[in-house]
Structure 1
Amino acid sequence: MGNLTFSQSINAYDLLITEIMSDPSPVVGLSEDEFIEIYNNSSAPIILSKTTIQIGSRLFIPDSFLLEPDSFIVFWDDKIPTLKNNGDSLKILHENKVIHRVDYTPSMHDSDFKRNGGWSIELIDFKKPCLINGNWNSSINSSGGSPGKPNDLEKELTAPQLELNSYCPKNDSQLSVVFNVPIESLESIYEYNLQFNKAIINIPKLDSGSIDSILITHAGTCYEAPFQEINLKYGLPLNPDSGNIVINEILFNPDENGHDFIEVLNASDKPLDLSKLSFCKRNENNLLESPFKLSYSPFLLLPNEYCVVCPDKKWLSNTFPKAINIIESSIPSMNNDAGKVVLLTHSAKIIDEVNYLENWHYSELTNNENVSLEKLNPTSLNISSNWSSASSSENYATPGYENSNFIALETTINYFKIANSIITPNADGYKDQLIIQYSLPNVHWTAKINVINYFGTTIHTIGGNMLLGKNGTIHWSGILQDKTIINPGIYALEIHAYNLKTQEKTQEKRTFYVNGTLK
């Protein structure tokens, strides 16, 4: 082998890890040995002793062997460090450069049966070697694997789009940007360091409370993938406090192939990191169950921005095509009839909590499947009157963007005001409820609110003797005492308010209109 001492250049993906057997027991048809298969993906012979193979933190240098183009070599467990059954990182290195990297996990197997052992996992598309998700699967060879032979699964896959997963300042001088696939190049005015699917960008020093931005004009991966330039706004994330982030929309009754989702809104004036938060639910004893992190990577949510968390991004996008700002992550399962969803920090500080009921949906809807519940005003209480079914005009859900029933409340009002003077209680989720906003000079006020028709006759009482706070909202669905829906026409609210402590009184009349087809 003395003639193999010439120098050679080995570029990225000239050598590929193409098959991994990390758990050979129980034996299917091969020997009970772990192995790694490597393929020469270049057009020239490669001397393997010029490379190093890294398994986790352990290294080994192959013997001096000339691997011809379009050829395989198998390293069995007597040559390599132990492969962990629960997954590890494998790298082929040359002169401190990564030639190919695969972070394997048992979840790459397509079934629990093969995940149990005896089956290898194989690379599917050799032309997209950096792609991990969807590009590895269990061998279909009847022996449990095909070491040293072409993979039975090999085929060309449809290239996934290159997308931004998340971003967040790592400190006051570095921005971490995470993509859905490994990144090979980036175009920005700032210096950066690439780490698999992450870019660490050196940014101008941030002050606490300031917001800056960076333009990324291009990003490239190991295959042709279109990329649209993005302008990322960022600021140093602060620790979330109660009410800073609110649960703003929930879907708990998806179709049989679908998934629940939970949307959150940053209702504060500061950037927050969603990876510091978890969802959980309460059991029948009102105790908190297992937490589900919103994101396993730092995920920056700026003030007044929305984000939706769902276990299946593809299903969510297909079912609700306008869905944006999606985190694909597991969430607590939510019952169709009722449930208690909690948003909290890792130290169990509760940020928000919703105790929902199915009857919060609009009562005239005949089917609540794939219909979300939206919060009408994000900063108001989590009570039934502040939640409603999403509008039919938005396909009954608004994941990742402003709710179809959003009501912006005025901050300067005297006593009582109708926030929406026209209602259409027709079960389409749009302006189905009358919103009465109040702001009182002090506490201890009660109110009686009557609905009167054009002739001055009281046809309904919204509240007979309601105890009010200093500020708040009152919601009415347009359903009368006899369970019928109010007819279209012009109506008025007759409001009688009384302060139990000071004996102050006020009486107001506010007009509103019910839109619809006259019967």
Structure 2
Amino acid sequence: MKNNLFIGLLCCTTTTFSQTMSPANVYRAKVNDVVINEIGADPKPPVALPQVKFIELRNNTDQDISLKGWALSDERKSCVFKNKNDHIQAGGYLIICDNKNVEEWKKFGRAIGLPSSLWPSPNGTEDKLTLKDENGVIISQVDYEDTWYKDQHKKKGGWTLERIYPEAVCYGMQNWAASLDASGGTPGRENSYARIAMEPLKITEVTVANKNQLLVSFNKDFDLSAVWEKTTYRLNHGIGHPEMVKPLSPYSNQIELYFKKPIPHGQIYQIEVPQFRDCLGNPLTKGSNTKVFTFTKPIDLGDILISEILFDPRAGGVEFVEIYNHSSTALDLKELSLATVGKDTLNKLYPITNESILLHAGKYMVLSVDPNKIKQQYHVENPDAFLKMKSFPKLNNKMGSVVLISNTKRIDQMSYSEDMHMKLIKEGKGVSLERSSFSKGAQEPGNFRSASSLAGFATPGYQNSQYLEQQVAIEEKFWLTSKTFSPNDDDFEDKLLINYHFSEAPGRATIRIFNERGSLVKELINNQTLSVKGVLVWDGLDERNQKAPVGIYRMYTELVDLQENVNIYRHYFVLAANLD
């Protein structure tokens, strides 16, 4: 702060209350028993408070505290409270202002007016306010700047600075911010931050800044005194402890960690941080001091491919583009954009998502503005393989080109036209073009064909009906005891028995049952770990616990082994009725 001429005199005060304190009940205040709690340093232009400055004190104790002989000062002026009735009530608030403005503040609560010549009017951009007791001991001190508002709009005037936590262990800018109250401040009453539910301190996000650096973000500020010990941090996969820990200013809710070993791509990591405290002194709880995150490599040419496109939807339907992860590792779709080509130049880029969404190796994702409409019109095997984009490029119904972009690089491009449909397709509306081979380029003749009619003219979110790539035969691991069952309690084939047997631990399985229209009837298990062998049972009840109707059904089983390889099994069976 700048040095200014300092004036120190005794001053008489004007109060709005007449209660006196008994000498026998005088409480000897300690540091921070009374705090400078709110500062109205720049009241213009006003929001809804008077256009005059004030300083608010708060009593953190359950005792009335006499202010007689106490002094309030800034870097230019100081005023000593001489009135024997000058006090602040237990747990209460007291507004200090210029004597000529005291009547304006009476309506907001208890107020004391100081002579204009001695009133330490808080400066709008920066100031140092100090409250001392009658022995000259500093009880509360605030050395603020306008950066403490943490809001570019509010720092221009009309809003007060509020202490966030009156009894916090954090100091300075960490514990101050612009008021959240709609009036612009809370003079004479509880600060606006006290009304916010206080969440426990926790890690909210971990970002890989570069190959040796992590940025760890928290939901609120933390006490800086306990964050420096490097050995209390740990990153798995053999990375270990950081070489350097650096809290970021000015808000202290982020930490940079620098590691000696580089952080490889394609791994699921867990960072562990020490049990340090938030600004109220509450420690990180067990479980809140760790965070799992994935570090993916940049998407390169051929990593993600265009797998299917519907450019001329049915009535009431929507266009879609299906993509496929052709790489060997999970990739972040946040890096991708979709675009069309017009006159040999890229049209507007449409980001696929603004959030990190991982597309795992060998998985599909359907991009559209309304996934529900696609699910209503086509068979769906994986409801989670759909991503709703905020906006989507308009696809020409006759011909056009679709491009996948990552960091200005073209990852894949597919040019289509209605002439690419099979000659037997008389009406192309609602029929998608599917990629037959991922090992061939999208532009190679014959690599995109009309989806099969047996598949319902599109296969959004699962393997294309026209897929012709050589497949490695997978020995059957699941089988049905009978391909017919009738849940009628006659003690004969009342339940569908699903057998499985593996030579080693198989991994996690999801089993869904669909009717002949392709609608999901029952999700039998979801991502459940299987034993080496066993039997699963379906009793014929659907997701609503109602009896499923007679008909032909399809069981779709997805098995993820311990190496994250995905195997798909399909079985057809009949739910039958009694024969009279």
> Same fold by TM-score, threshold 0.5 exceeded?
no
TM range (shorter): 0.3 to 0.5
Larger Rg: 2
TM-score in terms of structure 1 length: 0.40
